[in-house]
Amino acid sequence: MSKLKLWLSAFRLRTLPLSVSGIILGSCFAYYNGVFKITIFVLALLVTLSLQILSNLANDYGDGVKGTDNNNRIGPERAIQSGKITAAQMRVAIQINTIIAIILILVLIVLSFGLANFFYSISFLILGILSIYAAIKYTVGTSAYGYRALGDLMVFIFFGLLSVMGTYFLYAKQLDYILVLPACTIGLLSAGVLNLNNMRDIVSDKSSNKITVAVLLGWSKAKVYHSILILSAILLTIVFSVMYYSTPLHIIFMITYIPLIKHLKYVKVTNSPKQLDSQLKVLALTTFIFSVLLGLGYLQTTL
């Protein structure tokens, strides 16, 4: 494998669509309300992608040096685990990506707020720094929150609430309560993806003392918890549709209920963590498609 392909594998490109789901949804509502700007959209996407790649590299490093990524792990072989990238090389990559993320965050803040909104600029700079910290500290260090069953909560906050509502704020310079339910939905589905990943790795994580929600609950209860996450997301979208329905386009996203229900049935009947690996792509892509369809449903009514 060439060095480029090796690093692209370490970037874990298949995780990127899920990471931009909130950006797409927040941007579509910004367009719906007449405050959309293409420059902010592009920069917000770049910031999110850089943060996700940073998180993936840091996760590879943290789990690699702790020995969590071992032969008992079911998922794809990680870079440090394979020995093809050293821990020192991964640290350099993390440092470079951190610098790139900081630069992109600063450019986004300047384009969104400029000098006229100093308080907003400082607030989003702090949020940007916290996002970088969260991306790295998921598995890196002795106090890594991913080893203390806090990953699901952080994903809900950063992939859901902050991603959707923060993106909208970049355009509108204000929050809109209409976004709360969609933001929570993206957060719940994203937490579902992480829980599914942790259910797949439940045996190796437990043996490595990586305490995730799945490890705390155990296999059977983790499946119940997973169903609660997905069904809660579906329920919130139904409530949202009842509250804000005005055209059939606003409920086109309900098409995604089909793969979500099939996914839940699959998870319910399987008794093998290994069999969950294929479902990660299913749930992540369904979340991405959900955000696109919900956003387009409102965007189309303005065209």
**CA separation for the pair 241, 138 (Å, rounded):** 34
Domain assignment of residue 284, given as a range: 3-302
pLDDT single digits (tens) 102-122: 999 999 999 999 878 899 999
pLDDT in the model for residue 57: 93
Is the Cβ–Cβ distance between 123 and 190 less than 8 Å? no
φ/ψ of residue 211, rounded to 5: -90, 100
Stated pTM of the model: 0.94
- Which pair of tokens denotes residue 192? 């579902």
Averaged pLDDT of the chain = 92
Least confident of 138-152, 190-204, 279-293: 138-152
Beta bridge partners of 148: 211
**Of 57-71, 172-186, 243-257, 258-272, minimum mean pLDDT range:** 57-71
pLDDT (average), residues 159-175: 96
pLDDT at 160 over 80: yes
pLDDT at 258 > cutoff 90: yes
Q: Which pLDDT value is given to residue 108?
A: 97
Write the pLDDT tens digit of every residue in 220-229.
999 999 999 9
Which pLDDT does position 64 carry in this prediction? 80
pLDDT of 69 higher than 70: no
Provide the pLDDT for residue 119.
Answer: 93
Instruction: Report yes or no: 46 and 101 within 8 Å, Cβ to Cβ.
Output: no
Structural domain count, the chain: 1
More confident residue, 246 or 191: 191
Q: Is the pLDDT confidence value at 154 over 80?
A: yes
> How far apart are the C-alpha atoms of 209 and 203, rounded to whole Å?
10
Which helix or strand (DSSP H or E) is residue 237 part of?
Answer: helix 219-244
Q: What is the pLDDT at residue 72?
A: 66
Q: How do residues 35-47 score in pLDDT, each as one tens digit?
A: 999 999 999 999 9
Instruction: State phi, psi for 148 to the nearest 5 degrees.
Output: -125, 30
pLDDT of residue 73: 66
| pLDDT exceeds cutoff 90 at 78 | no
Per-residue confidence band for 31, with pLDDT thresholds at 50, 70 and 90 = very high
* pLDDT for the residue 239: 96
